[in-house]
Structure 1
Amino acid sequence: MAFAPAWILGAVAGAYGLHVLWQPLWVSMALAIALLWRMAVDRGRLPLPPRIVRWTLAAAAMAAVVATHGRTFALDAGTELLCLAAGLKVLEAQSRRDMVLVVLVAYVLAATHVLFAQHLAAAASMLASVVVSTAALASLTAHRPWREDLRVGAWVVLQALPLGLLAFVAIPRLSAGVVGLPLGRAPQGVTGLAETVQPGSIGRLAQSSELALRVAMDGEIPPRTDWYWRAIVLDSVDADGVWTQRRTPMLWQDPPPARWQGRVTLEPHHLPWLVSLDVPTAAPPGARLDQWGRVRWSQPVRDRLVYACSSASVSPPWDGDPGWTMLPPRLAPRTRQLVATWQGGPEAVAQAALAFFAQGGFRYTLDPVAVTGDPVDGFMFETREGFCEHYAAALAVMLRAARIPARVVAGYLGGEVNAVTGHVTVRQSDAHAWVEAVLDPTRGWQRLDPTLAVAPERALRALAQGVGAIRPRLEPVGLHWLRMVWDAADHTWSHWVLDFTAERQRRLAAALAKRLPVGAAAGVVLVLGVQVAGWWRRRRRTDDLAAAYADVRRWLGRQGMHCPAWEGPRSLRRRVEAELPAAAPWVGELLGRYELLRYGGSADAAAAAQLRREIRRRTRRIS
């Protein structure tokens, strides 16, 4: 017999949840078709697919996953197989046992969300999916209204949350992560900085409002004009104007003391670089700080990462390498001619270049006209419009043409202070590129930002507002406050859950050890209180039902019927119909309600008390 209540289909659909953002479109479509097919089966519009069709679909699903991923069986490939297996199981499930197995698969599928995202929205989605799956299990035990099934599911999950919290706090942290298999590809929709800078690369990125990082500063927040979030340093440019890294710097052995400190929550960007404010002065455990002022992580950042950050407004040291002035022979000939007309030392050349941008009719835009021919000359003398990477690349070429060491730095500029928690939120729309140059060898690398010569408001407000692209200039106050509250909640989740490291666990255990007697006593009182409350609730319900049944038997005894204590309500109802037919309608109705409450699994204290009051009212009035 086909048996697929809506709760079962809802459990699978809810477990898939946010996977629609990460899985290929064909996987989502295949699962949707399977659920719709089963829904049509339950309504009698389609038959269940025969076994040969199901086996063919399973083989096709396996072949599609293999064709997508090849021989690399990573976590995303396994998750795709699990999603497809859930859909196929729904198509063959007929017995109650099959339905239980489908719900168990839904539990596992919901847990795979953590492989792709660990933010608060993913956790809320998983929790909702677990509630729905538990309600689906409850629907298999008895026929109840859907609200009652949902209440049972939510109540079971609510009772399990304290145990989950205790397990989270008590189970030792794993330093290497929970799983060892890698993700075979970046999740769909993930954006971030690349390890190259070319015209248009950051402009495309800056049209995304996705979260890049959050920073909780210890103490005073630096001035907004110092909110340069450093990530990547590029030292080489090719004939197409693309900046990349070619050389490998040495580690920075004696960095200056820190001026600012805080904690960074970095979103996955699938590169091995950590983002720091201005110039980092120390690397967190597991990372390395090089002489270019970059912090390199041990592996690409594929998950949300929380780490300590210390930085200062200093100049990284210059190694004296003449390679910092090299240019491809055929790149930017007209720009070289322009630079050759400028007189003076490095400081004068740099000021002349910035003045050329400020007074040359350049325009700051996310949608510049495409450049034909030489990328630098076309921007400098023809289009004269572009985004930050256009200006940074052009300035670096001009400085190198004057034999001044220069390089391009990519990261973020600006951010938004959360009014609830005080942390700084930086989004992909804050992506930025600037230049570092050696104008005085004794002072090392100095920051030059040509974009500010064209759009000085860039450092004073969000990037999207500066160019009119992403965020509205006048956001409704209510919507703005809700966004702030959600951002604060997600930041708190990252701090207390994702950043609950082994070291923090040890500190918490040490603190609890000092208060163990008080904590243990409070825990015992809490557990006993919950147990006593549950016992009293069950006892009150049972006492009311027993008293109600006793009232009926006493009244029947006064009417001349013998009612032994061992006799059940059905037998008693049949005897009432035979011996007291005048009272049979209302006595039978009350005994039926008693039977449903006593043995139907839907009893509660209020219903039992109401039944007892009605029986007393009826028996007293008739007596």
Structure 2
Amino acid sequence: MAVLSLSSLPRDTRDTLFLVVVVGWVAFMQIGHIPWWCTGLTAGVLIWRATLALRGLPLPAWFWRAGLLTLTLAATWATHGSLLGRDAGVTLIVVLLALKTLEMRARRDAFVVFFLAFFTLLTHFFYSQSLLTAAGILLALLGLLTALVNAHMPVGRPPLLLAARTAGGMALMGAPVMLVLFMLFPRFAPLWGVPSDAMTGRTGLSERMRIGDVARLMEVDEIALRVRFDDQVPPLGALYFRGPVFSDFDGREWRGLRTGFPASMQLQPELAVRGEPVRYEVIQEPTNQPWLFVLEATPTAPTLPGAVPLMTADLQWMTRRPMNDLVRFRVESYPDFRHGPRSQQVALQDHTELPGGFNPRTLAMAQELRRQHGSGPEHAQALVQAALGQLRTGGYVYTVDPGLYGEHTADEFWFDRKEGFCEHIASAFVILMRAMDIPARIVTGYQGGELNAIDNYWTVRQRDAHAWAEVWFAGQGWVRVDPTAAVAEWRIGSLDRLRPAEGALASAFRNLNPSLATQLRDFWEAVNNRWNQWILNYTQGRQLELLKNLGFDSPRWTDLAYVLLGVIVLVSLAGAAWTLWERQQHDPWLRLLQQARHQLDKLGLSQTEHLPPRALATLVEQRFAAEEATPLKQWLLKLEAQRYSKSSTHSLGTLRSEFRQLVWPREKNR
């Protein structure tokens, strides 16, 4: 059977199929954010509509659409528990867009589909504002513009390529306007941006840690933050980006410390730094958490526009609201530091507590170590070294997939499995320290990173999430101890990492040309980084910086409005001047002839668009009485002579004046 080509279809069928394909693309980009039934129902409706167009069948009756709408409302309520909100709203919009194609009987119905599809495009930004999303929306926008231009060509069978060229030209002409509005239109929250729940569901570190949580982040290759150092880059083994600190353990889960002491009796940071600071810039991806990930240790607040970060007693920097948007801030950190109390305090008891009934073999191991190396604060360092020695020589393995741990997680690690990820190792180590009455706690964050050679940013991914320990020593305070380094020294201070399993295609490509795969990834991430900085992170602060560069001393948002208004006025004046210049460039003789043709059309002489002056004079002579036709006939012949006769003495100015004074004839009596 011969393949039916698009050019051989009737125009209505061709245009309908093209619009259905564009609508399908608009809906396809939401597949990851809508329920499976919504995807199936939308695809089924669009296929149904395309089949009806191909076979020339009538559209379904109203009760079919009413039934599908009722089914959609019920399924949306069952899935989301509501018909309101972002997720439920997007689900309804996608299905309604598909159902609306079943009502396309005329151009007016098609226009409704066009503008509903334009609105649906905006909903994609509720979930992602990435460069890839923007590229997909741009493709859909050009498709919708092509369909819209094509709908405004009702006569004949204009090719879709012609409509696409026109749509592309319209988009290019609108690009400067879009750029000016993007640069200068004042940004007011919440009028500018997406809803605050647009970034919910982000994968990352949590405010609590259950054994195995950090290991699951190994399966996530998303970027957590990007870092660019001003000068010398610290050693890779010193790149510890501090996050949540856990001191409360219930036997299964670690949480932040919940102390009953008044503020005056709680531990204070007592941070002291030495040496030269490391200055750098951080671009942090949305986390839906109030944390700022900075290197240890940072005594002064990061420079974050529009917010005042606060440092907690355990050196974690936080803001007053969750980071639901991409943020960029400047930091100064000191790799050489000390923090925490130097002498014994009552509040340190919170960091030695363990729940009863858990990990009995680890408690027994702690007693044996204390018997061998002594007990008390003066023997704390010896006990720590003994535990690290056990990790180095006891046959322990660093792995991302140690299996599920049971009730006694520390016992299983020390005596049974002897394998685990960083949080298994850190948790078992801290439990052992506390069992020996040594204050200890778990710190989570990110460790290491990899340099992108394209833009010189260090990229820290979710799979770089890490957990380490802090142990308190008398006279020193809190000291970082990373027990993972005792099990797998290569994990700290090198670029080696356990990587998540790749797909067959990605794995084959990497094995075929590892260098090219790395370069392509670095290039794509560098482009995304630029997109994040110049587009997504273009805030009102960046707008005011632009005004400073333009000469404003203390710019405000009202200055943005004035500059925008001035640009609009200048562009309007330039457009008017260009229009006036263009009109003057047209042939004035042809313009005068066109005025005569227009006047003759009013008198009933039709189809005169392409006739020269002499042919028009003949028509006038045939149509009107001689005494009335003669002045007009002579004027038309003068107009022809002015153009084509070198001996003509009539100027265009004279002919224009005579044209205005002509007495136009009336039709001859028949």
Under a length normalisation based on structure 1, what TM-score does the superposition of the two structures give? 0.79
Corresponding residue of 1:567: 608
The counterpart of 1:423, out of the listed 442, 453, 457, is 457
Deviation at 1:479, TM superposition (A): 2.8
Deviation at 1:462, TM superposition (A): 4.3
Corresponding residue of 1:235: 247
Matched, 1:56 2:56: no
Distance 1:372 1:505, change over 3 A: closer
Matched, 1:290 2:302: no
Matched, 1:131 2:142: yes
Give 3-state SS (helix, strand or coil) of 2:219's partner. Answer: coil
Deviation at 1:566, TM superposition (A): 5.9
Write the distance in 2 (CA, Å) between the matches of 1:504 and 1:179.
Answer: 15
Contact 2:238 2:493 survives alignment (8 Å): no
Q: Which amino acid aligns with 1:329?
A: G
5+ residue gaps, structure 1 = 551-563, 571-623
Write the distance in 2 (CA, Å) between the matches of 1:43 and 1:416.
Answer: 54
Deviation at 1:299, TM superposition (A): 3.3
Corresponding residue of 1:394: 428
Corresponding residue of 2:490: 457
Contact 1:263 1:307 survives alignment (8 Å): yes
Corresponding residue of 1:507: 545
Corresponding residue of 1:163: 177
Distance 1:490 1:402, change over 3 A: same
Corresponding residue of 2:6: none
Deviation at 1:458, TM superposition (A): 1.0
Corresponding residue of 1:482: 520
The counterpart of 1:267, out of the listed 265, 271, 285, is 285
The counterpart of 2:88, out of the listed 77, 81, 100, is 77
Write the distance in 2 (CA, Å) between the matches of 1:270 and 1:338.
Answer: 41
Contact 1:266 1:306 survives alignment (8 Å): yes
Distance 1:352 1:501, change over 3 A: same
Deviation at 1:235, TM superposition (A): 1.2
Matched, 1:330 2:357: yes
5+ residue gaps, structure 2 = 1-10, 554-558, 595-604, 612-670
Write the distance in 1 (CA, Å) between the matches of 2:198 and 2:190.
Answer: 18
* 1:371-450 aligned within 5 A: 371-372=405-406, 374-440=408-474, 442-450=475-483
Corresponding residue of 2:220: 208
The counterpart of 1:277, out of the listed 286, 289, 295, is 295
Distance 1:267 1:514, change over 3 A: closer
Matched, 1:218 2:230: yes
Write the distance in 2 (CA, Å) between the matches of 1:514 and 1:506.
Answer: 9
Deviation at 1:30, TM superposition (A): 2.1
Contact 1:227 1:277 survives alignment (8 Å): yes
Write the distance in 1 (CA, Å) between the matches of 2:322 and 2:567.
Answer: 45
Distance 1:304 1:74, change over 3 A: farther
Write the distance in 1 (CA, Å) between the matches of 2:500 and 2:94.
Answer: 41
Matched, 1:302 2:324: yes
Distance 1:201 1:361, change over 3 A: same
Distance 1:290 1:509, change over 3 A: same
The counterpart of 2:207, out of the listed 195, 198, 207, is 195
Give 3-state SS (helix, strand or coil) of 2:204's partner. Answer: coil
Tell me which moved more, 49-58 or 355-364.
49-58
Tell me which moved more, 357-366 or 196-205.
196-205
Tell me which moved more, 58-67 or 322-331.
58-67
Write the distance in 2 (CA, Å) between the matches of 1:521 and 1:83.
Answer: 40
Write the distance in 2 (CA, Å) between the matches of 1:479 and 1:159.
Answer: 37
Contact 2:199 2:324 survives alignment (8 Å): no
Q: Which amino acid aligns with 2:236?
A: R
Q: Which amino acid aligns with 1:262?
A: Y
Q: Residue deviations 1:463-500, cap 9 Å, x none?
A: 64x46745968653333222212111111121122222
Q: Which amino acid aligns with 1:264?
A: V
Matched, 1:16 2:57: no
Deviation at 1:389, TM superposition (A): 1.0
Corresponding residue of 1:608: none
The counterpart of 2:401, out of the listed 347, 363, 367, is 367
Corresponding residue of 1:609: none
Give 3-state SS (helix, strand or coil) of 1:213's partner. Answer: strand
Write the distance in 1 (CA, Å) between the matches of 2:70 and 2:567.
Answer: 57
Larger radius of gyration between Structure 1 and Structure 2: 2
Matched, 1:146 2:173: no
Give 3-state SS (helix, strand or coil) of 2:289's partner. Answer: coil
Contact 1:118 1:304 survives alignment (8 Å): no
Deviation at 1:325, TM superposition (A): 0.6
Write the distance in 2 (CA, Å) between the matches of 1:492 and 1:337.
Answer: 55
Write the distance in 2 (CA, Å) between the matches of 1:383 and 1:251.
Answer: 36
Contact 1:7 1:139 survives alignment (8 Å): no
Give 3-state SS (helix, strand or coil) of 2:197's partner. Answer: coil
Contact 1:17 1:125 survives alignment (8 Å): no
Contact 1:234 1:407 survives alignment (8 Å): yes
Q: Percent identity over the alignment?
A: 30
Contact 1:2 1:94 survives alignment (8 Å): no
Deviation at 1:460, TM superposition (A): 3.8
Matched, 1:117 2:134: no
Q: Which amino acid aligns with 2:210?
A: Q
Write the distance in 1 (CA, Å) between the matches of 2:384 and 2:328.
Answer: 38
Q: Residue deviations 1:495-547, cap 9 Å, x none?
A: 1222222222112112213699xx9999999999999999999999x98xx89
Q: Residue deviations 1:326-357, cap 9 Å, x none?
A: 00122221112112222141111111111111
Write the distance in 2 (CA, Å) between the matches of 1:96 and 1:110.
Answer: 21
Deviation at 1:181, TM superposition (A): 5.4
Contact 1:371 1:383 survives alignment (8 Å): no
The counterpart of 2:117, out of the listed 96, 101, 106, is 106
Contact 1:73 1:184 survives alignment (8 Å): no
Write the distance in 2 (CA, Å) between the matches of 1:19 and 1:115.
Answer: 10
Give 3-state SS (helix, strand or coil) of 1:508's partner. Answer: helix
Write the distance in 1 (CA, Å) between the matches of 2:580 and 2:31.
Answer: 44
Give 3-state SS (helix, strand or coil) of 1:500's partner. Answer: coil
Matched, 1:496 2:540: no
Q: Residue deviations 1:541-587, cap 9 Å, x none?
A: x98xx89x99xxxxxxxxxxxxx9962469xxxxxxxxxxxxxxxxx
Contact 1:430 1:462 survives alignment (8 Å): no
Q: Residue deviations 1:253-289, cap 9 Å, x none?
A: 8865792333332223333323222334325424322
Q: Which amino acid aligns with 2:163?
A: D
Q: Which amino acid aligns with 2:296?
A: D
**CA RMSD of the aligned region, Å?**
3.9
Contact 1:231 1:409 survives alignment (8 Å): yes
Give 3-state SS (helix, strand or coil) of 1:183's partner. Answer: helix
Distance 1:520 1:75, change over 3 A: closer
Contact 1:206 1:430 survives alignment (8 Å): yes
Distance 1:76 1:522, change over 3 A: closer
Tell me which moved more, 474-483 or 48-57.
474-483
Write the distance in 2 (CA, Å) between the matches of 1:99 and 1:202.
Answer: 51
Give 3-state SS (helix, strand or coil) of 2:541's partner. Answer: helix
Give 3-state SS (helix, strand or coil) of 2:208's partner. Answer: coil
Q: Which amino acid aligns with 2:167?
A: G
Distance 1:162 1:254, change over 3 A: farther
Distance 1:234 1:82, change over 3 A: same
Corresponding residue of 2:635: none
Write the distance in 2 (CA, Å) between the matches of 1:260 and 1:132.
Answer: 49
Corresponding residue of 2:98: 87
Deviation at 1:68, TM superposition (A): 2.2
Write the distance in 1 (CA, Å) between the matches of 2:329 and 2:267.
Answer: 19
Q: Which amino acid aligns with 2:430?
A: A
Give 3-state SS (helix, strand or coil) of 1:43's partner. Answer: helix
Write the distance in 1 (CA, Å) between the matches of 2:181 and 2:493.
Answer: 46
Deviation at 1:306, TM superposition (A): 3.2
Contact 1:404 1:438 survives alignment (8 Å): yes
Deviation at 1:175, TM superposition (A): 4.3
